[in-house]
Structure 1
Amino acid sequence: MNRKSLFALSAVVVTAAAALVPVLWSGTHYLQNGAALAATPVDQADLIKKGEYLARAGDCIACHTVRGGQMFAGGLPMATPFGTLYTPNITPDDQYGIGKWSADDFYRAMHTGRSKDGSLLYPAFPFASYTKVTRADADAIFAYLRSVPPVNVPSRPHELKFPFNNRNLLIGWRTLFFREGEYKPDPTKSVEWNRGAYLVEGLGHCGMCHTSINAVGGPVNSAAFAGGLIPLQNWYAPSLTGSEGGLGDWDIKDIASLLKTGVSERGAVFGPMADVIHNSLQYLSDDDIHAMASYLKTIPQKKEAPETMQMETSEAFGGELLQQGQKIYHDQCAKCHAENGLGMPPNFPPLANNQSIQMHSAVNPIRMVLNGGYPPSTGGNPRPYGMPPFAQALSNQEVAAVVTFIRMSWGNKGTPVSPQQVADLRSSPLD
């Protein structure tokens, strides 16, 4: 969900998981048309079930539920360069939730980024992606959300700095970066490919993390899916199109396995993407996962993401780090990842020829060595093997050394890592 320097007429774009879905409620009626009002209980139950599935695809629960809190009651703080956003209560509570929204209000929010009273929504809610969602799917999500238990808890107001608390500034952002319109299938492509494109570009809003943000807070569309640093999270969402992380040479089965279970023969996911798979993708059907994998594999080569600031080491010091890192790797890492770096996939992912290790930004491997972590626990991988943290055991230079060794060994073409980069990440938030 990477990578970037932000200034915004609009403020706030956050991680892939940052889908502030201002879902709506119709009160006593479900839809404002006779067909919906005449729906049988069976039809309504099917619609709610479909809506729950689609809400999973949109990862709504991740942003609107505080860990350990009541489902969809909101209150999750999201720190941004412009202040803190708090996700709203989207349960069907008349006083504090969305109990008085109509189905048309809901679709307008999804499709146009405007709330019930017509005010502009901040683009942390991914309406630029959700505009592609069909009315039928939006109505199904609406039916599901109106079926969840209401929670009588007020939504906490945002704490945005001036002038970003003035929503009128969003007019400029929308003019530059928002194009309203449902997804239109490509008649030259297969039904499966179009389904994958619809999910990736729409409900999945994958581009919010995997596309860099420019100086005014908008996506760099010329480098769509080319990767970027997730603002304030210090995780790098890899390119899906280019040489550093493209999926063109992946087998469909490996992409699908990664999306569905969080692990594959090519590697494992950690950080924000692990949350996405845990909360969302593992619940999608095999057909939809395969469709997404098929579409992602065909994303054309585009301009690479703008380079992020990278502290560089001298050639001599890089050589010293490489030698020091070889010993640390032998002592601390080889038992799981093997002396030749091939690992024992899928439980212990390979480091040799691992694109995420070699990217221009070394953020992800540094974070993994410092903080460790687990792939998501999923139905297909219920007891994932984890990576232990080494922040307490290794100094900044030792972490830089072992990451340098990993990035430059077994044919990997990464560059040396500066101890200062490690120091900066050691003191940064974990999420």
Structure 2
Amino acid sequence: MKRIAIVVIVVLLAAGGWWWFHNEAKAPVARSASEVNAAALKDPALIAKGEYLAIVGDCASCHTSQGGVRYAGGRVLPTPFGNIPSPNITPDRETGLGDWSFEDFWQALHAGKGRHGEFLYPVFSYTSFTKVSRDDALAMFAYLQSLAPVHAPALQPSLEFPYSVRSSLKAWRALYFHEGEFQRDASKSDEWNRGAYLVQGLGHCNECHAPRDSLGGQEGKASLAGGQIPAQNWYAPDLSTRANGGLAGWSEQDIVDLLKTGQSARGTAFGPMADVVTQSTQHLHEDDLRAIAVYLQSLPARPANAPENSPLDTRPIMAQGAKVYGERCADCHGKDGNGVAGVYPPLNGNSSVNEPTGINAMRVILLGGFAPVTHGNPRPYSMPPFAQQLSDADVAAVVTYIRRSWTNTASVVLERDVVKYRHTPID
């Protein structure tokens, strides 16, 4: 619990940096000699390219409040340390990016520094965005500058001392930030390199799908190895398709289907990933989706999990779980846990069922599972919430049963684990 709290502190305080450079900083940074001609930013082809890249980066999700104008900011993320608002990135001169040059934008994206040279907090995922090419950054800037200006003054964050102290970022950056554009691997195909560029850069997949240490930095070099998403109480699974990976056995088509429609033969997107599919990946070009799948399939095998060594007698909880499963789950997901293709996702071998913590299965059972509405799957089936029908003991039992039946061998979930997530908001 302490580890998660520290991670949340370090990562979520970052949004304060966005507010700070819109409201507090004073001295501008010297302009680069390579200023972009204003006329070049009005090229329709460049703007169209930038719009697509902004979708790839899922920029609108963070920079749009519920019911608000797209990209006008104001989305508030509640945390134990206060509310964190996102900034306006429309070209309004007073409250947005209207007075920004391309060099200002490039500095933020590539170097993690604000318009006035201040360090940005890493809730803005510059640790990934630094890999974006300068040409792509220019296209994105052209698109954002083409939007209708929206006057939307920044909301003030309610961060408490010492979480708003910025000087510590110098040490954090020395440990965790490696500035530099994506470098092609000449030994790999063009398709692999495109997939790696999208996943590592604009897609910023590792920001969620990687474990973080007590300082909020990514642990070791375990790329896309899975991790709990700070403050959201979801677990983003390991993305390796090889032995012991979170997507072990997934085909290229399975990955493409999930990203395009929110559903595949191996699983369904829900929680934060459902929003990513809705806002971003369903709109990607087919060749980019294929490239992402090719890259993910190249991720290495993972070490086998050590067998659980617990003195707990699981037979009573498994018996209770089997009873609940038979009454509440088997009609849709099948007695064999294999679901119904294209309708109900399988639980047998499901990466979200087998993830290390059990958080995802607990939350879906309590709060319901809602697949994204996409062009490829406009009327998805949803799972109803069972929070009112099942006790904490029932939820723990059925989650344990699902995680330890068929080919699944995940750890036991206890009643006290369920208590933590019963009243946790969906996002």
How does the TM-score come out when normalised to structure 1? 0.89
Amino acid in structure 2 at the alignment position of 1:405: Y
Q: Deviations over 1:213-252 (max 9, x none)?
A: 1111111132221111111211111112375543353210
- The question of whether the paired residues in 2 share the 8 Å contact of 1:22 and 1:88 is answered with no
For 1:312-323, list aligned pairs within 5 A.
Answer: 315-316=312-313, 318-323=314-319
2 CA distance for matches of 1:426 and 1:200? 33
- The aligned counterpart of 1:366 is 362
Corresponding pairs, count:
414
- The aligned counterpart of 1:104 is 103
Stretch deviating more after TM superposition (262-271 or 297-306): 297-306
1:342 to partner: Cα distance: 1.2
- The aligned counterpart of 1:254 is 254
For 1:341-356, list aligned pairs within 5 A.
Answer: 341-356=337-352
- Please state whether the residue corresponding to 1:381 is helix, strand or coil: coil
For 1:274-289, list aligned pairs within 5 A.
Answer: 274-289=274-289
For 1:307-346, list aligned pairs within 5 A.
Answer: 315-316=312-313, 318-346=314-342
- The aligned counterpart of 1:297 is 297
1 CA distance for matches of 2:80 and 2:243? 30
- Please state whether the residue corresponding to 1:218 is helix, strand or coil: coil
1:292 to partner: Cα distance: 0.4
1:151 to partner: Cα distance: 1.1
- The aligned counterpart of 1:192 is 191
- The question of whether the paired residues in 2 share the 8 Å contact of 1:4 and 1:230 is answered with no
For 1:32-181, list aligned pairs within 5 A.
Answer: 36-37=37-38, 39=40, 44-80=43-79, 82-181=81-180
Structure 1, unpaired ranges of 5+: 25-30
1:359 to partner: Cα distance: 2.6
For 1:187-266, list aligned pairs within 5 A.
Answer: 187-241=186-240, 245-266=245-266
Stretch deviating more after TM superposition (67-76 or 355-364): 355-364
2 CA distance for matches of 1:364 and 1:129? 25
Identical aligned pairs, as a percentage? 46
1:36 to partner: Cα distance: 4.6
Structure 1 residues 3 and 58: CA distance shift in structure 2, 3 A: farther
Alignment RMSD, CA only?
3.0
Q: Does 1:376 align with 2:375?
A: no
Q: Deviations over 1:377-407 (max 9, x none)?
A: 1111111110110001111111111112211
- The question of whether the paired residues in 2 share the 8 Å contact of 1:371 and 1:389 is answered with yes
Amino acid in structure 1 at the alignment position of 2:312: E
1:146 to partner: Cα distance: 0.7
How does the TM-score come out when normalised to structure 2? 0.90
2 CA distance for matches of 1:142 and 1:97? 13
Q: Deviations over 1:14-53 (max 9, x none)?
A: 99xxxx89999xxxxxx98698555496xx1111111010
- Please state whether the residue corresponding to 2:369 is helix, strand or coil: coil
Structure 2, unpaired ranges of 5+: 23-31
1:82 to partner: Cα distance: 4.6
1 CA distance for matches of 2:304 and 2:211? 10
Q: Does 1:426 align with 2:422?
A: yes
1:97 to partner: Cα distance: 1.3
Stretch deviating more after TM superposition (81-90 or 325-334): 81-90
2 CA distance for matches of 1:284 and 1:72? 19
Amino acid in structure 2 at the alignment position of 1:323: A
2 CA distance for matches of 1:157 and 1:245? 41
Q: Which has the higher contact order (CA 8 A, sep 6+)?
A: 1
